[in-house]
Structure 1
Amino acid sequence: MVHQRDDLWIGERMTMTDAYMLRQVVGVRRRGDDVVLSVAARPAVQVGIMPGYLTGEPLAEQGIETTLPNLPDLDLPPSDPRAYAVRISWAAPDTVRLTIAPENNPVLDDDGTWLGIVTDPAPAAAPVHVEESETAVVIESSALRVRVGRRPFSIIVDDLLTGAQVLRTAERLRQAAGFPVAPPAIADARGISVHLELGTGEDILGFGEQFGRLVKNGQQLTLRCEDALGTGTGLAYKPVPVWHSSAGYTGFLNTGATVTADVGHTRPSVLGLSLDDDALDLYVVGGAQPRRRLHSYTALTGRGPVPPLWAFGYWMGRCRYHSREEMLDVARRARELEVPLDVLHCDPDWLVVDRLNCDFIWNKDRFGDRRSFVQELEKLHTRLSVWELPYLDPASPRFAEAEAKGYLVRYPDGELATIQKTPTPDGRPRALVDFTNPDAVAWWQGMHEEFLADGVAVFKTDFGEALPDGTAPHSGLPGNHAHNLYPLYYNGAVWAALARLGDEPALVWGRSGWAGSHRYPGQWGGDAESTVAGMQATVRGGLSYAMSAPGFWSHDIGGFYGPELTPELYVRWTQFGALSPLMRAHGLRPREPWEYGEHALEICRRWIRLRYELLPYLWQVAHESSRNGWPVLRPLAFEYPDDPVAAGVDGQFLLGSDLLVVPVFDDGDTPVRRRYYVPEGRWTDLFTGEALTGPRFVIQDIPLDRIPVLVRDGTILPRLQVDGSIRRTDDLLGRPWTLHLFGNVDHRHQLVGFDTTATTVAFDGDAVTADGSQPIAPTARLWI
């Protein structure tokens, strides 16, 4: 980081030489297959009030238009260089790592795993070929070519398999006097920035759970985990420094530092990435298809296992259920009204000290004996989920123990760190558990053991966004990385405890996140407002997150807070939730479907049952997603990257590859005119049987009791029969699946059963064969 400031006069305006622009490659050395370039960074100043930068090099060499009539007199800044290094290394043939840092910075010697985001630094061998010339250094794998211009410094990445130039720095972009407005790399007292040139038709998607438009062009995003207090505040619970370009690459910044992503906002043809750090560690993944690129990205950062089957059932919760009897009454009502229900969630009232505190001290006055409570819920065929957060109130009996043993985050001077930007109800500070301390992690994990032994099924890992800046974590993690990495470590610690102590695949229900959080399923979209706008923002947030953190994401059906929820909006949100990766109704006020009148209950019950009917299909998608590193809920651009319309469609989604889901954003009881996009191919409406052929837009009047759900031709859709006897997913085990065929299907297809065994189904004319058995009629049921 540069701290020296030399006052300079340019024309009649003063500026400072607190910026250094990478300008010239002055040395090349090999370290195995890595190439390390020594780069001279020159002092750079902004030219008064004009956009653009000036260095101390000759004006002609900088490309300055000296013949411009109104060009002011220019006093050049010093030209003394500062030494930087650019390391080019390979994680796989399609994945190149570009690390830019001051010479001798430790990150230049790291394999990429030091922050805990990357879990496998080299998933595939990548032999490379290096060529040097007077003008460039070129490094090639079998899939990508990186060309580094010597003077001026620049970077171009080509995809050798598609022949496309996928990324280039923005050194060509200048203002009228010739000053560069977007240097390839520039460092100042605030950190380091790179500028990439956006192509004329290039769309950028991703950057985590952002609640605005899916295509990020024109937006400026601050990637910093925050308690967003909703989905309309401009803040994000789960920002992720991963993005997709329609030019044919995926970018991943391996950092915990705050990132500012300026996507053509300040400069229309520039993607600017600025980090609150002195080093930039960028992975570029090539490949024409997002599915291929996400596969490679998750090879680096891990993939989440498939949650247990019950996790895909219907969950209900409320902030708050105040007693054991209140929760048991909800479970009884679900059974009486024949609403399937797998999980009932208890928010903080299970704690004795329950306001922004979690010390795992069970409130027996409200909920009695925990084990017997779980057993009573089990008799009602329901599992228990409980809430937690990683903060401790000084009023907790466990606070003194945690403080004395060094389990809490501190500042460099030893003072306890306390949460920031999340309001406390009583003004007392709340401390944070230090998840970089192995002893603190073991202590926190150990407090889950008795809960799991008593039968608690899952923990909702709430909050985690409030670590202040400038702390000194136990591990020595730099304070500028700690804030955004805290949610990753917190959720990872709880997930690992459940994986170790439980007898099923682990699951958490997390709100905060960062790059890598996808490997700890699952997450939900935070505290949406109970409005049409809140529902729309939730859909957009899920689609954006899917492109950066592929896995198992969900949301609060009905929204968490806000104006009184209309029965009609509750129905529309339930329809969306029934076809989401995970399904939970939850809010500040009651979210049980019978709270919204008989008509709403009747419609919602049908949709909840439909979810259970479709669980065989969702189970296939879950395994496909876990195996390949793909999202379950998918933007159209994921499946149809060559469709010029698909990227901008952010009001509908695909569940897996074969179901197109079109939520209806409305809170009224009359049919709604809905315009939606049908991708290429032939699709059949699951409810009406109407066939639609795309690509094209369709306009339909949609009644309250349904939304468009289209099935792609070529699909084998496994379903179950669900009636009032189905209380939860356990009741589905051992029941036959019915295969529904749409259009021409592949001759052989493998299905994963609920017990995770695979069955190969073959189709030959009018006959269906399962694992080589005797042919059966295609309308018959299969036990899978």
Structure 2
Amino acid sequence: MKFTEGMWRLREGIKIDWMGNVDKITEKESDLKLLLTKPLRHRGDTLNSATLSTTITSPFPDIIGVKYVHWTGEEDKGPHFELNASQEHSSVRVSKTAEQVTYQSGNLTLNINTTKNNFNGTFAGPTGKKLTGHSFRSVGYVADETASPYSDGLYRVREGHTFAALDLGVKETLYGLGERFGPFVKNGQTVDMSNEDGGTSSEMAYKNIPFYLSSAGYGVFVNHPGRVSFEAQSERTTRVNMSVPGEFIEYFVVYGPGPKEIIEKYTALTGRPPVVPAWSYGLWLTTSFTTNYDEKTVTGFLDGFKKRNIPLGTFHFDCFWMRGFEWCNFEFDKEMFPDPEGYLSRLKAQGQKICVWINPYIGQESALFDEGKKNGYFVKKLDGGVWQWDNWQAGMALVDFTNPAACTWYASYLSKLAAMGVDAFKTDFGERVPVQGVKYHDGADPARMHNYYTHLYNKVVHEVLQNDLGDAKGCLFARSATAGGQMFPVHWGGDCESTFEAMAETLRGGLSLGLCGFGFWAHDIGGFEGTPSPTLYKRWCQFGLLSSHSRLHGSGSYRVPWLFDEECSEVLREAVNRKLEMMPYLLSVALEAHEKGTPMMRPTFMEYPEDLNTWSIDTQFFLGPNLLVAPVFTDSGDVSFYVPADSEDEGEWVSWFDHSKRYKGGNWYSEKHDIKTLPLLLRPGTYTAVRPGATSPEQGGVEGIEVLTVGTVGGEGVQQTIRLIDPAQPDRVEMDLRVESMPNGGVEVSGGKIGVRVL
């Protein structure tokens, strides 16, 4: 939120008490407490001005938190992000001189100038080089009279905001802030944290994460679930201005130095994703949204895939598996599915996984509405009645997930579906949550619950699948999220249009979300709104099957390939088989996401941060560390992509499709691809475990695995290790394959009957 008009003036009706002086310093164990005031010229300046009580903490080495509080008498109604902290964190060091207090955590140091009327702070890395900090007039309390244009006697009613600004350096660029579909580089943008159902072609976002990553080697997380506002070089061109409505703001600076290290430390604080079942990496097909379908339609789709020999892993029943106006009643529409238990049983017998659509709303016509109303399971109005809305389902109510009994009630219906054979729930919505005139069971602040609601919603559903199906045997397909939501995978990108432009903005959203610790991500292949052209469908299939998770979905038209043309079936079959072949590699990448928070789909700079050309690229990505993917965003097949380079000569990159095509790092390439191929390159000096001819993502064992090596893996006698994951237990390493470079450029793999292909 902008409070100023240029460098010198404030907006009409805005008053800011700027902090410019450290009045008091107190140490308590590993915490440091300061009292910040305005500059004090004489005793009279202690009157008629705000102060900020400041606490500096460190939950983990290399992470420093700063909390500024204006009035401490405010009742804290929550909610709060569930953050982790080290139980044996002993790296904090506090030192003081006459001019400075220093707070050090691991390799990160905060130096605070304590000389009179000269408050400023500098975060520095291990070499002492400044990362960011607070300079002149960068911390304060804002009183906004324009929001409440009336007085209460002597007192002018104001809306308060707590404000902090962090410095930006020359050429520094910012990324993240959730799944944002606009420009990948966030400099110059105003970004407000408010989960909204806005599609992918607007500044709104389904997944707002108050965390950004800087090219300067650090990240910043604002610990507030409400409407945090970021002015990323958009109000002051040398700063990120951060503000929160209310009486406090708390942020954590996370030192890297590289992008992977930043995300690893950030997810240690906010949580990491569990492993997801191996079957979830196969192709998902949905009924689409408003299309007409029944048992015959679904069976026809499944038969069509079998006829064309296209492996299909999961079938998803979208909204109208339930009767209209009755979402959610968690019952199959008997007119369309007269024997749902029997039908699901027959699908399961064919090896089909099943997903059904749900949302957290209960329409007035649902058989569950009266039950929820009677027992107090819904969010209420201030007068005690049920909050209702017509803007989705007629008279819908919102399940109150702050009420443990409501959680148990909602989960009980999902458990019945799991018992019928449902393996996954598409947790749609969670963004249409009121902020005024409502109250929650636990008294939570509705404004702070707006974004946090989705966390409770997805957590309840995730726990049903964990408890009913066992760890790693079920998963979500979630649309909305906030910080910590990465613990309840998988997430998908929401409602995109059926255009190449929407395909590109979808990728930007996924890469931005991955930089916030979300390891698994998907999107609507073919686009949601509209009907894709055959060419767009084929190109999106290629992109979608090189994403972490892959789902065909649309709004008013089906997404089965033969409705476009039969070549679509060929392209889709090849794309699915290619992903199945990659499964040994993908499972190892997924385990890294679980262990370190590193996303499976990564921006180019995450693998090559030292190559400055990579920091602005948003039309290509890495799938794990070894595979560079450049989707084709044109009808003509023309595509440009950048092959990165590091300080050492790695050797040549190799095309997945044509091993004779070689690429030298540090160069841009322009190519024209036929409909069967795209730029998919293997990184030099790497080894990638694959299973040619695989027919299922759950196919295990060593037999049939090959290792693709690109150039030499290292000097003669150098060993490296491939982690081979058991698909039945994807959180466990089945065995380590040892790769050793041999004389004359040969490569040997030990650990079973493993083939080697040197490319």
Assess same fold via TM > 0.5.
Answer: yes
Partner of 2:446: 479
Pick one of 286, 296, 299 that aligns with 1:328: 299
Partner of 2:596: 628
What's the offset of the Cα at 1:361?
Answer: 2.6
What's the offset of the Cα at 1:523?
Answer: 0.2
Partner of 1:606: 574
* 1:460-471 alignment, distance < 5 Å: 460-470=426-436, 471=438
1:440 partner letter: A
Deviates more, 1:690-699 or 1:577-586: 690-699
Change (3 A) 1:341 1:354: farther
Partner of 2:194: 224
Pick one of 770, 773, 776 that aligns with 2:750: 770
Q: Deviations over 1:483-533 (max 9, x none)?
A: 010111111110011111113414100001111111111100000000111
Do structure 1's residue 761 and structure 2's residue 737 form an aligned pair?
yes
Pick one of 659, 666, 684 that aligns with 1:695: 666
Change (3 A) 1:479 1:447: same
Is the 1:276–1:480 Cα contact (8 Å) retained in structure 2? no
> What SS does the corresponding residue of 1:297 show, helix, strand or coil?
helix
* 1:624-703 alignment, distance < 5 Å: 624-666=592-634, 668=635, 670-680=636-646, 681=650, 682-689=652-659, 690-703=661-674
Partner of 1:70: none
Identity %: 29
> What SS does the corresponding residue of 1:239 show, helix, strand or coil?
coil
What's the offset of the Cα at 1:125?
Answer: 0.3
Is the 1:739–1:779 Cα contact (8 Å) retained in structure 2? yes
Distance in 1 between the 2:340 and 2:585 partners? 35
Do structure 1's residue 142 and structure 2's residue 106 form an aligned pair?
yes
1:183 partner letter: S
Is the 2:724–2:735 Cα contact (8 Å) retained in structure 1? yes
Distance in 1 between the 2:11 and 2:347 partners? 71
Is the 2:175–2:214 Cα contact (8 Å) retained in structure 1? yes
Distance in 1 between the 2:593 and 2:710 partners? 22
Change (3 A) 1:569 1:211: same
Do structure 1's residue 742 and structure 2's residue 706 form an aligned pair?
no
What's the offset of the Cα at 1:221?
Answer: 1.3
Partner of 1:67: none
Pick one of 401, 407, 410 that aligns with 1:441: 407
Distance in 2 between the 1:558 and 1:658 partners? 26
Q: Deviations over 1:439-487 (max 9, x none)?
A: 1111111111111111111000000001111332222222221001011
Deviates more, 1:15-24 or 1:362-371: 15-24
> What SS does the corresponding residue of 1:467 show, helix, strand or coil?
coil
2:536 partner letter: L
Is the 2:479–2:493 Cα contact (8 Å) retained in structure 1? yes
> What SS does the corresponding residue of 1:365 show, helix, strand or coil?
coil
Distance in 2 between the 1:776 and 1:609 partners? 20
> What SS does the corresponding residue of 1:92 show, helix, strand or coil?
coil
Pick one of 258, 265, 275 that aligns with 2:227: 258
Listed as ranges, the gaps of 5+ residues in structure 2 are: 1-7, 144-158
* 1:134-213 alignment, distance < 5 Å: 134-150=98-114, 151-160=117-126, 162-171=127-136, 183-188=138-143, 189-213=159-183
Distance in 1 between the 2:632 and 2:246 partners? 43
Distance in 2 between the 1:41 and 1:415 partners? 46
Partner of 1:345: 316
What's the offset of the Cα at 1:190?
Answer: 4.1
Distance in 2 between the 1:656 and 1:14 partners? 47
Change (3 A) 1:779 1:235: closer
Change (3 A) 1:17 1:365: closer
Q: Deviations over 1:8-52 (max 9, x none)?
A: xxx99996574322222111112211011112258xxxxxxxxxx
Distance in 1 between the 2:12 and 2:738 partners? 73
Change (3 A) 1:607 1:16: closer
Change (3 A) 1:733 1:341: farther
Change (3 A) 1:623 1:321: farther
Distance in 1 between the 2:208 and 2:256 partners? 24
* 1:287-686 alignment, distance < 5 Å: 287-317=256-286, 318-319=288-289, 320=291, 322-354=293-325, 357-418=327-388, 423-424=391-392, 428-470=394-436, 471-505=438-472, 506-562=474-530, 564-588=531-555, 589-666=557-634, 668=635, 670-680=636-646, 681=650, 682-686=652-656
> What SS does the corresponding residue of 1:778 show, helix, strand or coil?
strand
Is the 1:169–1:197 Cα contact (8 Å) retained in structure 2? yes
Partner of 1:3: none
Distance in 2 between the 1:734 and 1:363 partners? 45
Is the 2:503–2:633 Cα contact (8 Å) retained in structure 1? yes
What's the offset of the Cα at 1:219?
Answer: 1.2
> What SS does the corresponding residue of 1:240 show, helix, strand or coil?
coil
Is the 1:521–1:552 Cα contact (8 Å) retained in structure 2? yes
Distance in 2 between the 1:185 and 1:307 partners? 44
Scaled by the length of structure 2, the TM-score of the pair is 0.89
What's the offset of the Cα at 1:187?
Answer: 2.8
Partner of 1:71: none
What's the offset of the Cα at 1:81?
Answer: 2.8
Partner of 1:34: 31
* 1:59-138 alignment, distance < 5 Å: 80-104=48-72, 115-122=79-86, 125-138=89-102
Is the 2:630–2:641 Cα contact (8 Å) retained in structure 1? no
> What SS does the corresponding residue of 1:491 show, helix, strand or coil?
helix
What's the offset of the Cα at 1:365?
Answer: 2.0
Partner of 1:7: none
What's the offset of the Cα at 1:364?
Answer: 2.0
* 1:697-712 alignment, distance < 5 Å: 697-712=668-683
Distance in 2 between the 1:658 and 1:12 partners? 51
Is the 1:348–1:387 Cα contact (8 Å) retained in structure 2? yes
What's the offset of the Cα at 1:414?
Answer: 2.4
What's the offset of the Cα at 1:278?
Answer: 1.9
2:353 partner letter: R
Change (3 A) 1:732 1:590: farther
Distance in 2 between the 1:299 and 1:106 partners? 30
Scaled by the length of structure 1, the TM-score of the pair is 0.86
How many residue pairs get aligned? The number is 712
Distance in 2 between the 1:326 and 1:679 partners? 50
Is the 2:439–2:446 Cα contact (8 Å) retained in structure 1? yes
Is the 1:191–1:274 Cα contact (8 Å) retained in structure 2? yes
Is the 2:226–2:451 Cα contact (8 Å) retained in structure 1? yes
Deviates more, 1:500-509 or 1:118-127: 118-127
What's the offset of the Cα at 1:758?
Answer: 2.5
Distance in 1 between the 2:184 and 2:65 partners? 26
What's the offset of the Cα at 1:152?
Answer: 3.1
Change (3 A) 1:122 1:41: farther
Listed as ranges, the gaps of 5+ residues in structure 1 are: 1-10, 43-55, 59-75, 172-181
Change (3 A) 1:36 1:16: same
Is the 2:34–2:55 Cα contact (8 Å) retained in structure 1? yes
Q: Deviations over 1:187-222 (max 9, x none)?
A: 322422211121111111110100012111111112
What's the offset of the Cα at 1:340?
Answer: 0.4
Change (3 A) 1:673 1:623: closer
Q: Deviations over 1:756-780 (max 9, x none)?
A: 4432222342463434x6x876359
What's the offset of the Cα at 1:571?
Answer: 0.5
Is the 1:331–1:382 Cα contact (8 Å) retained in structure 2? no
What's the offset of the Cα at 1:732?
Answer: 6.2
Q: Deviations over 1:311-336 (max 9, x none)?
A: 00000112245212211111111111
Deviates more, 1:745-754 or 1:713-722: 745-754
What's the offset of the Cα at 1:369?
Answer: 2.5
Change (3 A) 1:375 1:776: closer
